[in-house]
Amino acid sequence: MEKRADIGVFGGSGFYRMEGVEEIKIDTPFGAPSDKITLTTIGGKRVAFLPRHGKEHQLPPHMINFRANLWAMKELGVTRVIGPCAAGSLQPHIKPGDFVICDQFVDRTRGRKDTFYDGPITTHISTADPYCPELRELAIREARKLGITVHETGTVVVIQGPRFSTRAESKWFSSHGWEVINMTQYPECVLARELGMCYVNISLITDYDVGLEGNPDIAPVTHEQVIEVFKQNNDKLRTLLHGLIAAIPDEPGCNCYRHLLDGRLN
Ligand SMILES: [Zn+2]
């Protein structure tokens, strides 16, 4: 397939559509992606957009075919992937409405298909630093420019879902100092790396995780407030994405693609 996009964007909860010029259906050796992919142009860059839960949010986190989603992006020619997601806060100082540009993850998922290398080719990619340093820096800079409260680092705990954490689980995650909790960052992030693509996460904090309830520093929030924050986050994200995509240099200044080459055993 001819190269048709440079940058891939995965829409998360509440972010199901992007204005586009064309919608295409792609099939992959790993099955069908979550939905049709929208092709568009932003700031002179060719962008492919795919809502990871599908346009109608028909796919819960544990049913997303992450391999198909990433493979489809690669087939379109994408070299950089932006993966925003709705997330909960595990720390009082990270507030609903804040954005976190995560630099680490802790994988608490089970049984997800998280590699393209089931043999005979064996590959062990490094995930010591799983996120693209260049895209992280650009995302932080653009968020600051827009006056968004952004945390420059953060560890996202990725739980299997679809259930939320117990109070005990949440307290355990918080006690390690981990900041963010979500259900989709793994394996999206590592599959991008296995294909040699840069990946950046933008965690949009919607609410506090269950373990922080009852903390005297945390004011109780209503369901209406959560919905309002959720909507505002996605509005801010759309503006941020335009600035970020336009700022991405044509030639990467990072070594993300090398993780794939270094990981090959044969
Ligand atoms: Zn990179």
Summarised one tens digit per residue, pLDDT across range 115-135 is 999 999 888 999 999 999 999
Residue 76's Cβ-side half-sphere holds a number of Cα atoms within 13 Å equal to 32
Instruction: Kindly give the distance from the C-alpha atom of residue 118 to the centroid of ligand 1, in angstroms, as a whole number.
Output: 25
- Residue 185 included in any domain: yes
Binding site residues, as ranges? 13, 52-53, 183-184, 207-209
Band of residue 210 on the pLDDT scale cut at 50, 70, 90? confident
Binding site residues for substrate, as ranges? 183, 207-209
Instruction: Check whether 90 has a pLDDT greater than 50.
Output: yes
pLDDT given for residue 265 in this prediction: 55
- Residue 137 included in any domain: yes
Instruction: Check whether 266 has a pLDDT greater than 50.
Output: no
Number of domains, the chain:
1
- Residue 2 included in any domain: no
- Residue 159 included in any domain: yes
Spatial CB neighbours of 169, under 8 Å, sequence gap ≥ 6 = 159, 211
Instruction: Kindly give the distance from the C-alpha atom of residue 28 to the centroid of ligand 1, in angstroms, as a whole number.
Output: 24
Instruction: Kindly give the distance from the C-alpha atom of residue 196 to the centroid of ligand 1, in angstroms, as a whole number.
Output: 9
Spatial CB neighbours of 219, under 8 Å, sequence gap ≥ 6 = none
Instruction: Kindly give the distance from the C-alpha atom of residue 177 to the centroid of ligand 1, in angstroms, as a whole number.
Output: 26
Residue that is written with structure tokens 């028909």 in the block? 58
CATH of the domain at 257: 3.40.50.1580
Binding site residues for phosphate, as ranges? 13, 52-53, 184
What predicted TM-score, i.e. pTM, was given to this entire model? 0.95
> Which SS3 state, helix, strand or coil, does residue 192 take?
helix
Domain hosting 194: range is 7-263
Active site residues: 207, 209
